[in-house]
Structure 1
Amino acid sequence: MLTTILAAAAPKGENPYGLMQALKEGGLISQTVFAILVLMLFVSLYIFFTKIFEQQKIINQAKRVRASFWSSNSLREGAAKLEKNSAYRQIVDDGVQAQEQYKELTDPVEAHDWLHGSLARSEGVINSALNGGLAFLATVGATAPFIGLFGTVIGIYRALIKIGASGQASIDAVAGPVGEALIMTALGLVVAVPAVLGYNFLQRRNKSIAEGLNTFSNDVLGYLASDGRVRPAKKVVAGAPVKPVASTTTAGQTGGVPTRS
């Protein structure tokens, strides 16, 4: 009933309670807090969708690697099948380059250690790029509620000063300004919750991608260290016919011994 009466007393088309009224009553500080929260929200959304695109691109590259890379005759031939700016191609190129550089070394360094270090640096560069911007999401998730709370405190303070100056302490004089001030706290939560959820989601996908890159890096290391004799085994496709395994019989024992081609 009170809200209806106040709304009827307000000019037509103007909401006496709402965000714009809260910003107007809160003054420059509330308006600045609102602008900061809006900026945080838009930057967080930009980072989230940008990282989703980057992650999905690498996930698609991993599918192409599993499909055709290890069926190539050499690393260079396999790398040619990948995109020029592919994360997996970067690992292959760095590994091949490290193998060529090892021949130029004059100090006695183990080839395994040299190749492993070069591939690890390549992985680190890729993972660092994937994690770029996530610190901002974490910062927004941690600070946005407090920024909104600061705006609420200032809004309530100004509302109480205004109420004290007018000499009116009725419920209609208190509830409106205080309720408007609490809008800032709600805005802070609206900005913080998506940032935290997005941060956790991106971190989980980055961990999965990092595991895939590390596995591929180890496979490349094994290939380089064995001059191509060691490579990942091809996965058996469901429904494909399986060749029978030859068996050998010894005195007192029978059994099939799989041979590796």
Structure 2
Amino acid sequence: MLNFSSSEPLTSWTLNNQPEISAATEATTTEVANPAELAKQVNELAAGSHDLGIMHLILNEGDAILKLTFLILVLMSLYSWTVIIYRAIMIYVVSAKSKQHLKILNSSAYPSYEVAYQAMQGNSPIKELVGAALNSEQQYTQAQGALSQAIDYAEYLQRNIRYGLEKTTNSQDGGLSVLATIGATAPFIGLFGTVWGIYRALLSISATGNANIATIAGPIGEVLVATAFGLFVAIPAVLCYNVFIRRNRVYARSLDGFAHDLYNSFLMQSKK
């Protein structure tokens, strides 16, 4: 038979043992909270260890072949941007000088081509064509005997103006073939880096026997960076190449019209 009698009241026992219960509860809570906190710290460390920058991927994760691939892409990018900036500056300078020299030719303050040519400051395709026409007239006049018997003045003038026109238009296209080459080859060089990174990832998987994140994170990162960098190099080169080519074609047509008018003007002067 149960005996409910006790020398110590129940209320007294509960109050006396409350600190022990609280301590046990706190210990249990600590034991439950510690794994969660530990898991959080592990996740933070893991995230930090996989936060790989581009330079880290190239310098620490890549091999010699991948580093060479990125070096080629960097050099191509630097060269293409050098050509782009230089071409843009030259287009602006040539356009400004051409407008200035055309204004001098159309001005009544310069009665002849010789005076207008001497007044032109700097270089432009307009000045080069006028200089070619003036040299043709001077050379043909000085060599009246043999030269006049061998070739007609109109044909001689046309050849010299045409030669000056071709020389001018060719100088406007300088460096554009390099932009076209970079725009065509840079994506394939980046693709080579992609294929090589996948190959290295497969080698890592076969060597370790398991396809976990730690094994393939570096090579896969190299794959993505190589592809993106190849496109980064190619896209500006292709866009600027198309812009420059279109501008040069329009400018070449305007120069061709000016050369035709210049030829007719010198030919009419020779008949006076």
Normalised by the length of structure 2, the TM-score is 0.75
What's the CA shift string for 1:18-71, capped at 9, x where partnerless?
Answer: 323432322111111111111111110110111111111121122213323122
Structure 1 window deviating more from structure 2 (118-127 vs 60-69): it is: 60-69
CA distance in 2, matches of 1:86, 1:37: 35
Query: CA shift at 1:5, angstroms?
Result: 6.2
Contact kept? 1:159, 1:178, Cα under 8 Å: yes
Say yes or no: does 1:9 pair with 2:46.
yes
Cα gap change, 1:77 to 1:162, in 2 (>3 Å): same
> SS of the counterpart of 2:62?
helix
**Unaligned regions of 5+ residues in structure 1, if any?**
231-261
Structure 1 window deviating more from structure 2 (63-72 vs 27-36): it is: 63-72
> SS of the counterpart of 1:107?
helix
Tell me what 2:191 maps to.
149
Tell me what 2:116 maps to.
78
Query: CA shift at 1:80, angstroms?
Result: 2.1
Pick from 203, 210, 213: which aligns with 1:168?
A: 210
Alignment of 1:17-166 (within 5 A): 17-23=52-58, 24-71=60-107, 72-103=110-141, 104=143, 105-166=147-208
Q: For residue 137 of structure 2, what is the amino acid of its counterpart?
A: Q
CA distance in 1, matches of 2:225, 2:98: 46
Cα gap change, 1:171 to 1:84, in 2 (>3 Å): closer
Structure 1 window deviating more from structure 2 (103-112 vs 166-175): it is: 166-175
Q: CA RMSD in A?
A: 2.4
Alignment of 1:145-224 (within 5 A): 145-170=187-212, 173-174=215-216, 177-224=219-266
The alignment of Structure 1 onto Structure 2 pairs a total of residues equal to 225
Query: CA shift at 1:6, angstroms?
Result: 6.3
Q: For residue 86 of structure 1, what is the amino acid of its counterpart?
A: S
Cα gap change, 1:52 to 1:5, in 2 (>3 Å): farther
Cα gap change, 1:151 to 1:54, in 2 (>3 Å): same
Normalised by the length of structure 1, the TM-score is 0.78
CA distance in 2, matches of 1:5, 1:176: 20
Higher helix share: 2
What's the CA shift string for 1:54-111, capped at 9, x where partnerless?
Answer: 1111211222133231222100111122224332111111111111222311434222
Query: CA shift at 1:182, angstroms?
Result: 2.2
Q: For residue 209 of structure 2, what is the amino acid of its counterpart?
A: G
CA distance in 2, matches of 1:18, 1:155: 16
- Rg comparison, structure with higher value: 2
Contact kept? 2:83, 2:175, Cα under 8 Å: yes
Contact kept? 1:26, 1:154, Cα under 8 Å: no
What's the CA shift string for 1:115-170, capped at 9, x where partnerless?
Answer: 11101101111111111111100000000000011111111111211122111123
Structure 1 window deviating more from structure 2 (89-98 vs 141-150): it is: 89-98
CA distance in 2, matches of 1:228, 1:111: 9
